[in-house]
Each structure stands twice: as C-alpha cells, then as structure tokens.
C-alpha cells in the first residue's frame, strides 16, 4: 500500500531542501545544526511538549506556528536552550533571524527546535558561522537527520510515496529520540515534510491524532522533555485535491504510517536499549484505559529490566497495569509474552521456561494483556533497561 | 527526645515475642518465615497497597483487621502469593490456621503478609514444617526482621522508648523494602509493635497519617506491589492513659519517628542503591503539590542516574517537577543540590562543578526545589539508579 522510498529523507518530497553543519555546539567534528527549507510557503502544524517547563525554541515555534504557514526550520543538537529565560528566547529568535537572512525569508516564516543539555546558553557565534556554511539541497536530507542526533545510535528517517485517488504525494520525515522520552507529549524532535496539498485545520487535527497513536505511545524512561516538538510542513507542490476532513483519510493514514515507523525506531533506539518492546492492551473498558495501561507497562522499570534479562516475570506486567489507573479486575485478566500464554483469567498458566526465555531474548518482544472488560485497545512501544542506560545517564552533562 | 534502644527489635515492647524459621520457600538455609505474637489481644490497624492487584495475604489481612484487634502475624519472603486466585486465598487462610493451632489462638486473630515472586503458589508443606519449628520469644526479634528480607542488603528494624506525661511506652518495628517500591501506598512490608494503650480509631488515623508522610514518600523504582502492608499492634501492656485524638500527639510523633527511620532505610537500601536521595520541595501551592513534585523528582530515572554519577544535571530535576502535575511556573523556581544553588528564579546559577561533584558523590544527597508559589512543603526519599539495579532485576524469577 505504501511505497517506501529507498534511502528516502526529509528532502524527498518535491520542493524541500535540507542541509547541515558541524557547528561545534557541544561536540566537535559532528553535524549538530540543520536547516529544512520549502521553496514555497507551506501549511504547517506542530505538536509540542505538555511539560510546563518549555524550552525557548518550543515557546517561539508554538507561537509562530499559529499563523499556519512556515517556510523553514532550524534545528540543533547539543544545547536545548531550556531554563534560559529571556536571554534564551532572544537567542532562539536570533537563530531564526540568521536563517531568514541567509535564505531571504521573513523571520516569522522560520521555526526552531533544539535538543541537548538543559540550562546552558546557545553559543550564538558558532551557530551563526554554522548557518552561513549550510547549503541546503535535495540530496542532503540525510545530513539533516544526522545533525539532530544526540545519544541516538541510529539515524531515524523515512520517506514514502502514495498514489491515492486524490493524487500522488510524498511524505518525508526525520526524528531523534533516545532519552527523556515518554508518552503524553510529542516526543523529542520530529520533522515531517510533504508535497501534498492539505487544508490547514485538517493538517492540525490529523497530526494531533497521529502523534497520539504513535509518538505519544512511546516511552524510553518516563521522563518528559522541555524540547519535544513534532512539526509538519505541507508545501502543496503535489497539486492534489486539497485533503480535508472529507477526503483526507489517505493522507492521515500515510502520515500515521511514517510516524509509527519513526516512533518504533525511537523506542528501539532508546538509550542503552537492546530490544524493542511492544505492549498491546485489549479488552479495556475504554480506549483511554487501554492507552494508560499499555504506556504504564511499557515504561515500568521492573518490566524493562525483566525484558532485558529475558526473564518471564509476568507478575510485574500485571502490577504495572494495576497501578496505571485503568480499571482492571485481576481475576479476569489474561496475558501473553511473545504470544505464549502465561496468565489466564487471573491465574498462572504453566509454560515452558526455556523456550519462552529464548523468545524473550530476541530483538522484538511483545506483551499482550487482555483486560476482558470492554473493547478498548491500544499499543505502546518501549525498550529494555540496560546497564548502558545507567552508564549514559550517570555522566550526561560532565 | 526519643530514646533509641540499642539492638532494639520488634520484640522490644512488653508482651511481644517473635521467631523465625528457614522454611526453604525460595532459597535454602535462609530465614524466610516469621511470626510475631502478642501475649494479649492487641488493638491493630493496617495500611495496604492501593494497587488493585492485591495479593491473597493483603485481601485476607485487610478483611480481618477490620475487627480492630489481632494477636499474631505470620510473614514470609520468597513467595508473594499474588495472582493465585481462590487457591491462593485458601493457602493464606491455611497459614493463619497453622499459626493459630500452633500457638492456641483463633485463626481470626492471626494476620498474614507475604513478599516475593508473583504468580507462584505457596509451598504449604514447607510452611507447615516451618511454623512447627518456630519458638517465639523476646530475644528473637532480629530473626523476624531477617526473615522478611528478599533482595534487601540491610536488616531494617528499630525500637524506641518514650517517656511522655501520659506514661512510658515502647515502639518496635521491622520493615523490608528493596524493589517494587513507590509512593501512593504503604510500602512493602512493615510491622510495628507497641505496648502503648491506644484507642482503636486513633491508631488507625495516626498510622494512616504517619505512612503518608514516611513510607508513601519513598520510591525505589516507581513500581507498586500487590503485597504492600504496614501493620501496627498495640497490646496495651504499658498501662498508660489511652492515647486518642486529644492526647495522642506523643504517640503519633514517636510512631512517625520510627516509620521515617525505616522509610529512609528502605530508600537507602533500594535495589542496587549506593546512596540515599532526599528531595525537599518548598513553596508549593499546596502540600499535595509539594508531595507529588517531591515524589516525581525522587523517582525520575534520569535524576536517579545523574545522582548515581554525581552529575549536577539539574535540568532533569526541573523537568521531573514540571511533569509531576504540580502547579509550577518555571521562571520563579530556585533549586539547590547538596545545598549549593544551581538555579535561581528560573535561570542557571554559576557553580563550582568540581566541589559540587564531590558533594554529590557522598552517601546522602539532597535536592531542594523552591517553587515560590505558596506554603506547601514535603520531603521524599529515593536512591540512585545503578547497574546493579538492572542486574538484580534482569533475572529475578529465574
């Protein structure tokens, strides 16, 4: 159904260019500053962190995107520009002004997103030199995805081509994740480009729904970040009938497909992660109950440790579901680990430990919880908790 | 004010005896089954897990304690008897009947608490043999505290003697903690004995308040257990004027002192912990806001990792406070790490990294967060997140 573009990037849709520079913001000799440009004004929508501690770039971009259009975004790793007060906000504005000047745009048309250490100021001199050196073109989308990585070990990007009755269009995207990743927000940074023509209100609601079902169902460590931002740019060059509430299903499905692909990549590449954990909750009283139960199981430290050790310790799963706030009745719950029944209607089920342990040792582990109270279902993605998570986060700033 | 009794135990108050056995429930050659007896009926109160997944011992003890009196409790490690359905409930009742028969009590006067693996059945034959072998006396209180340990590395017990105008009395207690420890409950297992005369309704409310300010402010890993139980037995042998709402302050303060001592011991001995973390939130809009902010900071995986690495990464603290649900206004928050200001009214404060890192490397680390919105304040206790936590929990059942 979806035509995944080989080596597709955020610059794959028509009319988008991208580029990056090694500005030396925190590390040297590493791409850490990136720009995405649209050749014509794009309908734009965004989802931002719900943590009241919001970085300066989040405050600025959330305000500017209310206009509904944008032409560029500048993003950086190494410095989150959060907890930096009025000076931080001015620095974020300066970053957009530098980009606007360099590419002949209005500052109001430029958005900004930053990730990295909290409580340090942006090194504007290096940012300025870096922006001067960036030469966006259609072949440098991969550089963009690389530049936004922090402790990510994999570059997260994708592009798909869709041929729908409403016309052909392309969606590209790049994301970064790794730490401070948890539901109830648009996770760290994700940028989506598309040449589709999309009606602005529909773009906003479609993005919001897609983020709720994808990025908001990912957890690496339960901690939410002040920087989380998902931005979508639809520049309309595909020339399709505008997608709206009546005909937009193909676009929203494609957008969700890309978001889910990247959300799973973020979970699988959580800091220190060695495997992807998928938690499917069914039979919840409501969809919201299913969501909170799935997210709580996927973010339980004890569940994550057990998955790391391939230990079929299913008691931790039911305890996490129990404390999630979802309505549960322990005596009717059934559960599977990697498809193997371990609990049935509240009671232990005998299983072969050796064979289940070998399934739990694989790179993709699934947990199925059936609450048997209704029709609500939801999927959450997480990862295991390893020694490397501790190592990475015991010395992040120093 | 409080006279801490040297080598005091749960059997220090008059009229209490305790004993334990190595029943071989999960491990061999290790005390894992314990009994506490009062020589006369004691006023009793309990606080139990709020996780809807409740173990059979919790279900049974919560029902029996409604009578307000009890004479004994049997406790074990190695098997939680949770998610074991009707058979588990029958097994818990059998445990109390075996104790009742052995010591000439009514089963209704015997409570039960179990900790250990979830989803396995109690080995009743070994329990029965173990109970037969237990010889409670006043010198074996330490055995009781040892027998309830699972992954605890320290034995948690205390006894204090109080001389108040209402009379002299003694409080003894034993607790176990380690994993699946998180606020919003009475944490794992704690047993309190006292010879004070306490009016039943006052005992219940005093215990509830004390647990809210002590055990409910401890977090090791954010996971709540189906077994959590705090029980207090007041057998009245001290012969004081009965403590009630009008004169009970000395008793409640002493009870809180013992609970806080054990709660901090539980936090400091969290699975894999190398240090105790104390989080004091002041200036919150309400006390409840202060409580949730303190608890969220103390249980943040990223904060715990930073503390483990002695990394002064205060951005993680404000982010955790931000997502806690407490009302916060980032631009007025001030913060200290080990007493050193790192943030003032929302902005970074320059500090000496080398000297702060050496403070953060000590065995007791404090975080102070001033929200500057009101008078609410609260303290929470936690621990760092180490490689050993992962090691312990990657292979708990296997």
CB A324 within 8 A of CB A281: no
SS3 B393: helix
Judge: A393–B309 Cβ closer than 8 Å, yes or no.
yes
Kindly give the pairing relationship between strand B364-370 and strand B276-284.
parallel
Residues B192 and B240 in one domain: yes
Q: Quick check: B324 pLDDT over 50?
A: yes
Q: Does the CB of A264 have a partner CB in chain B at under 8 Å?
A: no
Residues B306 and B251 in one domain: no
- Phi/psi-derived region of residue B30, left when phi > 0, alpha when psi is between -120 and 50, beta in every other case: beta
- Per the domain annotation, does A23 fall within a domain? yes
Highest mean pLDDT among A175-184, B131-140, B141-150, B193-202: B131-140
Q: Does the CB of B124 have a partner CB in chain A at under 8 Å?
A: no
Can A229 be counted among the known catalytic residues?
no
Report the number of distinct structural domains present in chain B: 2
Judge: A319–B180 Cβ closer than 8 Å, yes or no.
yes
A180-184, A243-247, B229-233 — which is least confidently predicted? A180-184
| Average pLDDT value for residue range A349-377 | 94
Given B187, B214, B229, B379, the catalytic residue: B187
Judge: B348–A386 Cβ closer than 8 Å, yes or no.
no
- Per the domain annotation, does A309 fall within a domain? yes
Q: What is the pLDDT of residue B187?
A: 43
Give the CATH number for residue A296.
3.10.20.340
Q: Does the CB of A365 have a partner CB in chain B at under 8 Å?
A: no
For residue B385, the chain A residues in CB contact (below 8 A) are 390
pLDDT tens-digit series, residues B47-81: 887 777 788 999 999 999 999 899 999 999 889 89
| Average pLDDT value for residue range B363-372 | 94
270-289 of B, contacting A, C-beta below 8 A: none
Average pLDDT across chain A, whole number: 87
For residue A51, the chain B residues in CB contact (below 8 A) are 319, 322-323
Give the CATH number for residue A125.
3.60.70.12
Q: Quick check: A186 pLDDT over 50?
A: no
pLDDT tens-digit series, residues B87-114: 999 999 999 999 999 999 999 999 999 9
Residues A245 and A333 in one domain: no
Percent above pLDDT 70 for chain A: 94
Q: What is the pLDDT of residue B222?
A: 64
Residues A176 and A312 in one domain: no
Q: Does the CB of B119 have a partner CB in chain A at under 8 Å?
A: yes
Residues A212 and A180 in one domain: yes
How far is Cα A177 from Cα A258, in angstroms, rounded to an integer? 15
| Average pLDDT value for residue range B24-36 | 91
pLDDT tens-digit series, residues A30-59: 999 999 999 999 998 888 877 777 889 999
For residue B321, the chain A residues in CB contact (below 8 A) are 53
Residues A259 and A297 in one domain: no
For residue A395, the chain B residues in CB contact (below 8 A) are 309, 311
Residues A311 and A191 in one domain: no
Q: B167 to chain A nearest CA, in Å? A: 42
Q: Does the CB of A84 have a partner CB in chain B at under 8 Å?
A: yes
Q: Does the CB of A323 have a partner CB in chain B at under 8 Å?
A: yes
Q: Which chain A residue lies closest to B324 (C-alpha atoms)?
A: A51
How far is Cα B309 from Cα B296, in angstroms, rounded to an integer? 19
For residue A343, the chain B residues in CB contact (below 8 A) are 83, 119
**Domain end (from A266, A296, A318):** A266
Q: Quick check: A118 pLDDT over 50?
A: yes
Q: B128 to chain A nearest CA, in Å? A: 23
- Per the domain annotation, does A271 fall within a domain? no
Task: Nearest by CB to B179, from A302, A314, A394: name it.
Answer: A302
How far is Cα A215 from Cα B206, in angstroms, rounded to an integer? 44
Q: What is the pLDDT of residue A87?
A: 93
Task: Nearest by CB to B311, from A121, A302, A396: name it.
Answer: A396
Q: Does the CB of A354 have a partner CB in chain B at under 8 Å?
A: no
Q: Does the CB of A305 have a partner CB in chain B at under 8 Å?
A: yes
Q: What is the pLDDT of residue B366?
A: 95
Task: Nearest by CB to A315, from B82, B184, B346: name it.
Answer: B82
CB A372 within 8 A of CB A259: no
**B136 — pLDDT class (breaks 50, 70, 90):** very high
Percent above pLDDT 70 for chain B: 94
Q: Quick check: B184 pLDDT over 80?
A: no
- Per the domain annotation, does A204 fall within a domain? yes
| Average pLDDT value for residue range B187-194 | 76
Residues A135 and A157 in one domain: yes
Residues A211 and A100 in one domain: yes
**Domain end (from A219, A248, A266):** A266
Kindly give the pairing relationship between strand A110-114 and strand A69-76.
parallel
Residues B249 and B281 in one domain: no
How far is Cα A154 from Cα A307, in angstroms, rounded to an integer? 21
Residues A258 and A308 in one domain: no
How far is Cα A368 from Cα A379, in angstroms, rounded to an integer? 9
Tokens representing residue A319 in the block: 């305890």
Q: Does the CB of B301 have a partner CB in chain A at under 8 Å?
A: yes
pLDDT tens-digit series, residues B162-181: 888 878 889 988 887 765 55
Task: Nearest by CB to B318, from A53, A323, A397: name it.
Answer: A53
**A187 — pLDDT class (breaks 50, 70, 90):** very low
**Domain end (from B268, B301, B318):** B268
- Per the domain annotation, does B398 fall within a domain? no
Q: Does the CB of A346 have a partner CB in chain B at under 8 Å?
A: yes
- Per the domain annotation, does A333 fall within a domain? yes
**A-to-B residue pairs, Cβ atoms closer than 8 angstroms:** 216
B355 C-beta neighbours (distance < 10 Å), count: 11
- Per the domain annotation, does A22 fall within a domain? yes
Residue A255: domain span = 3-266
Q: What is the pLDDT of residue B336?
A: 96
Residues B107 and B169 in one domain: yes
pLDDT tens-digit series, residues A58-114: 999 999 999 989 999 999 988 989 888 899 999 999 999 999 999 999 999 999 999
Given A151, A187, A224, A336, the catalytic residue: A187
Q: Quick check: B183 pLDDT over 50?
A: no
Interface test with B, best of A48, A178, A348, A386 (most B CBs within 10 A): A348
Q: What is the pLDDT of residue B390?
A: 81
B121-135, B317-331, B356-370 — which is least confidently predicted? B317-331
Q: A16 to chain B nearest CA, in Å? A: 34
CA distances (Å), origin B329, targets A54, A57, A303, B323, B373: 10, 17, 34, 12, 8
Judge: B330–A306 Cβ closer than 8 Å, yes or no.
no
Judge: B308–A390 Cβ closer than 8 Å, yes or no.
yes
Q: For A161, phi and psi rounded to 5 degrees? A: -115, 135
pLDDT tens-digit series, residues B196-246: 999 999 999 998 888 888 887 776 666 666 677 778 889 888 889 999 999
- Per the domain annotation, does B373 fall within a domain? yes
Q: Does the CB of B350 have a partner CB in chain A at under 8 Å?
A: no
Judge: A394–B82 Cβ closer than 8 Å, yes or no.
no
How far is Cα A119 from Cα A363, in angstroms, rounded to an integer? 36
Q: What is the pLDDT of residue B354?
A: 93
Average pLDDT across chain B, whole number: 87
Q: B125 to chain A nearest CA, in Å? A: 20
Q: Does the CB of A295 have a partner CB in chain B at under 8 Å?
A: no
- The four Cα atoms A46, A51, A54, A57 give a dihedral, to 10 degrees, of -30
pTM for the model stands at: 0.74
Q: What is the pLDDT of residue B325?
A: 86
Closest to A19 (Cα-Cα) out of A82, A102, A79:
A102
| Average pLDDT value for residue range A338-364 | 92
């Amino acid at each position: 159904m979806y035509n995944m573009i080989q080596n597709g990037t955020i610059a794959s849709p028509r009319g988008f260019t991208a580029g990056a520079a090694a500005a030396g913001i925190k590390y040297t000799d590493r791409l850490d500053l990136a720009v995405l440009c649209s050749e014509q004004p794009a309908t734009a929508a965004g989802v931002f962190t719900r943590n009241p501690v919001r970085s300066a770039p989040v405050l600025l971009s959330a305000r500017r995107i209310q206009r509904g259009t944008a032409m560029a975004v500048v993003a950086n790793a190494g410095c989150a520009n959060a907890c930096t007060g009025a000076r931080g906000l001015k620095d974020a504005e300066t970053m957009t002004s530098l980009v606007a000047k360099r590419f002949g745009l209005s500052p109001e048309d430029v958005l900004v997103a930053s990730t990295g250490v909290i409580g340090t100021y942006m090194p504007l001199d290096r940012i300025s030199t870096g922006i001067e050196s960036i030469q966006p073109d259609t072949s440098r989308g991969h550089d963009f995805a690389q530049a936004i990585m922090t402790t990510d070990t994999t570059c997260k990007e994708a592009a798909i081509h869709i041929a729908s009755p409403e016309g052909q269009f392309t969606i590209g995207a790049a994301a970064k994740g790794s730490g401070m990743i948890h539901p109830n927000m648009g996770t760290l940074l994700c940028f989506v480009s598309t040449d589709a023509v999309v009606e602005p209100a529909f773009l906003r609601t479609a993005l919001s729904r897609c983020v709720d079902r994808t990025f908001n169902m990912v957890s690496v460590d339960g901690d939410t970040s002040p920087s989380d931002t998902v931005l979508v740019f639809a520049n309309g060059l595909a020339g399709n009938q505008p997608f709206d509430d009546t005909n937009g299903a193909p676009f929203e499905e494609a957008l969700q497909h890309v978001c889910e692909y990247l959300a799973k990549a973020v979970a699988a590449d959580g800091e220190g992660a060695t495997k992807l954990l998928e938690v499917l909750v069914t039979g919840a009283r409501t969809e919201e109950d299913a969501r909170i139960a799935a997210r709580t199981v996927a973010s339980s430290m004890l569940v994550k440790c057990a998955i790391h050790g391939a230990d079929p310790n299913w008691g931790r799963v039911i305890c996490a579901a129990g404390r999630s706030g979802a309505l549960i009745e322990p005596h009717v719950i059934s559960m599977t680990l990697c498809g193997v029944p371990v609990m049935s209607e509240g009671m232990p089920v005998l299983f072969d430990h050796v064979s289940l342990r070998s399934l739990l040792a694989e790179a993709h582990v699934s947990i199925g919880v059936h609450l048997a109270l209704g029709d609500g279902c939801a999927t959450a993605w997480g990862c295991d908790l390893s020694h490397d998570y501790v190592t990475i986060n015991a010395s992040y700033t120093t």
